[in-house]
């Protein structure tokens, strides 16, 4: 069958890499893709938010499954667009419908969902421009540090953690009154600060049944020792060593089960990945956030550990027969190190030639921000390439990735040398 993957990052290259291994696949397309996907699939110059173009392309190319990588098209309703069109509705879209995508699109929606279904999370209240003074008052009842979250999508920048009360109150005013994050901060969720270590778990659901994928931990800050600005993610490890069987059992019963049952109780149509951001406080898992897609770079460590045929899994999601599938996960640990453009996550240059890719051995090269320029592979984004390695221990896997990164080169290349330092 023919499959279309939407997106252009390391996550989408990883999906393409895995799908390409399936005997069920006939032709694979990635829109818009990158230099890595171009080598194993056909890249299509289409925006992930141009539903009309995606729909027409899908009909013309007999697409049977559309795998949506990023959250944007889901929050904009791509799944509903397909369901509402007679010529498209037979196509399986991997990713929830718009109503359910609000779990990522609105922090308040996610908090209300968790409250309704007794899913453990930080205490919170939400405020608008009209209630900004009540919000400032609410802050005085909390302990420092203060957590302020823009309700809507703010490209990963909408969460502020502030030590000083007055500064927090000023930021709240900026967000609500001066629209610091545009429409995304029309509402702000103020939340109790949770002190613990973060991890993520990933679930694939058909709306009724689900399978739990391996856990992963990513490293979000640009600087070593988890310092500096937030990025999309600078590296990841799977499994998370501190998530033992007992802790996983707690995640399953307290978080995953009530989440999937919550979709059914609330009539939220969900066929796709659920990315649950957790924080381990003491010995208990609390939910920080839901994402309605896989993580990037978490996908680059989770998917390589999966032994199942991903096409088969996606078919089962579409047909609501996930209960017939049991997951097979490799014992080996996987790690990925993200190689980025100097300056990222602030201003950086593009178009730098990348050399040494073909000399990499015993690791998988997942392209993120790259493109082909004639025969050359050049940088085309902040996060450029993820180097994934697998080994008996995560330490050995990390070592392999670092050895291979030494063979890569482009002008102003940067990566963190301490992935896994805190484990």
> Site mask, ligand AMP, residues 142-181, x = CB under 6 A?
-----x-----------x-x--------------------
Tokens of residue 160, six digits? 């502020």
As a whole number of angstroms, the distance between CA 25 and CA 22 comes to: 6
Which residue among 122, 153, 162, 234 contacts ligand AMP (CB under 6 A)? Answer: 122
Rule CB under 6 A: say whether 198 interacts with ligand AMP.
yes
Looking at 119-127, 293-301, 311-319, 359-367, which segment touches ligand GLY (CB under 6 A)? 293-301
Residue 295 binds what, of ligand GLY, ligand AMP, none (CB under 5 to 8 Å, by partner type)?
Answer: ligand GLY
Tokens of residue 237, six digits? 């490890």
As a whole number of angstroms, the distance between CA 130 and CA 111 comes to: 20
Which residue among 64, 108, 151, 296 contacts ligand GLY (CB under 6 A)? Answer: 296
Binding residues among 187-216 for ligand GLY as defined by CB under 6 A: none
As a whole number of angstroms, the distance between CA 307 and CA 228 comes to: 36
- Strands 27-32 and 159-162 turn out to be unpaired
Rule CB under 6 A: say whether 191 interacts with ligand AMP.
yes
279 neighbors 197 (Cβ within 8 angstroms): yes
**H or E, element range at 7:** strand 2-7
Residue (of 407, 297, 417) closest to 362 by Cα position: 407
As a whole number of angstroms, the distance between CA 51 and CA 48 comes to: 7
Nearest distance in Å: CB 90, ligand AMP: 35
Residue 194 binds what, of ligand GLY, ligand AMP, none (CB under 5 to 8 Å, by partner type)?
Answer: ligand AMP
Task: Compare residues 217 and 271 and give the one whose CB is closer to ligand AMP.
Answer: 217
Task: Compare residues 64 and 104 and give the one whose CB is closer to ligand AMP.
Answer: 104
Rule CB under 6 A: say whether 194 interacts with ligand AMP.
yes
Tokens of residue 221, six digits? 């800050």
Under DSSP, the state recorded for 376 is E
Rule CB under 6 A: say whether 239 interacts with ligand GLY.
no
As a whole number of angstroms, the distance between CA 87 and CA 91 comes to: 9
Binding residues among 221-280 for ligand AMP as defined by CB under 6 A: 277
Nearest distance in Å: CB 233, ligand GLY: 3
Looking at 83-91, 186-194, 252-260, 361-369, which segment touches ligand AMP (CB under 6 A)? 186-194
9 neighbors 299 (Cβ within 8 angstroms): no
75 neighbors 104 (Cβ within 8 angstroms): yes
Residue 296 binds what, of ligand AMP, ligand GLY, none (CB under 5 to 8 Å, by partner type)?
Answer: ligand GLY
Residue 314 CB contacts under 8 Å (≥ 6 apart), including other chains? 3, 65, 67, 92, 94
Task: Compare residues 207 and 233 and give the one whose CB is closer to ligand GLY.
Answer: 233
Nearest distance in Å: CB 232, ligand GLY: 6
100 neighbors 268 (Cβ within 8 angstroms): yes
Rule CB under 6 A: say whether 232 interacts with ligand GLY.
yes
Q: What is the CA radius of gyration of the chain?
A: 21
Give the residues lining the site for ligand AMP (CB under 6 A). 122, 147, 159, 161, 191, 193-194, 198, 277, 288-289
- Residues lying near ligand GLY in the complex (CB under 6 A): 218, 232-233, 291, 295-296, 298
């Amino acid at each position: 069958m023919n499959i279309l993957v939407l997106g252009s990052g390391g996550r989408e290259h990883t999906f393409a890499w895995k799908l390409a291994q399936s005997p069920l696949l006939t032709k694979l397309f990635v829109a818009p893709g990158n230099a890595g996907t171009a080598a194993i699939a056909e890249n299509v110059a289409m925006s992930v938010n141009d539903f009309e173009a995606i729909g027409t392309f899908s009909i013309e190319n007999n697409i049977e499954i559309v795998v949506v990588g990023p959250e944007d098209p889901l929050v904009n309703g791509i799944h509903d667009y397909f369901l509402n069109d007679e010529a498209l509705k037979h196509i399986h879209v991997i990713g929830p419908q718009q109503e359910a995508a609000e779990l990522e699109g609105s922090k308040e929606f996610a908090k209300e969902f968790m409250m309704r279904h007794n899913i453990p999370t930080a205490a919170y209240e939400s405020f608008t421009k009209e209630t900004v003074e009540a919000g400032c008052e609410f802050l005085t009842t909390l302990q420092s540090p203060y957590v302020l979250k823009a309700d809507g999508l703010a490209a990963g920048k909408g969460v502020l953690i502030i030590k000083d009360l007055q500064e927090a109150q000023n930021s709240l005013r900026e967000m609500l009154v001066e629209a610091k994050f545009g429409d995304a901060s029309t509402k702000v969720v103020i939340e109790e600060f949770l002190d613990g270590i973060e991890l993520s778990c990933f679930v694939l659901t058909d709306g009724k049944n689900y399978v739990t994928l391996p856990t992963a931990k990513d490293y979000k800050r640009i600087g070593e020792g988890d310092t500096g600005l937030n990025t999309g993610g600078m590296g990841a490890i799977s499994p998370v060593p501190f998530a033992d069987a007992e802790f996983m059992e707690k995640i399953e019963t307290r978080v995953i089960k009530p989440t999937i049952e919550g979709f059914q109780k609330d009539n939220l149509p969900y066929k796709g990945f659920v990315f649950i951001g957790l924080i381990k406080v003491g010995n208990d898992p609390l939910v920080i956030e839901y994402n309605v897609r896989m993580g990037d770079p978490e996908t680059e460590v989770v998917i390589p550990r999966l032994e199942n045929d991903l096409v088969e899994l996606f078919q089962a999601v579409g047909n609501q027969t996930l209960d017939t599938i049991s997951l097979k996960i490799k014992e080996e640990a996987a790690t990925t190190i993200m190689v980025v453009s100097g300056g990222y996550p602030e201003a950086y240059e593009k178009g730098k030639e990348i050399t040494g890719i073909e000399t990499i051995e015993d690791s998988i090269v997942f392209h993120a921000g790259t493109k082909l320029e004639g025969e050359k592979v050049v940088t085309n984004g902040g996060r450029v390439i993820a180097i994934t390695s697998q080994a008996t221990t995560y330490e050995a896997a990390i070592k392999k990735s670092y050895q291979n990164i030494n063979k890569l080169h482009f002008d102003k290349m940067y990566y963190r040398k301490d992935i896994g330092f805190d484990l």
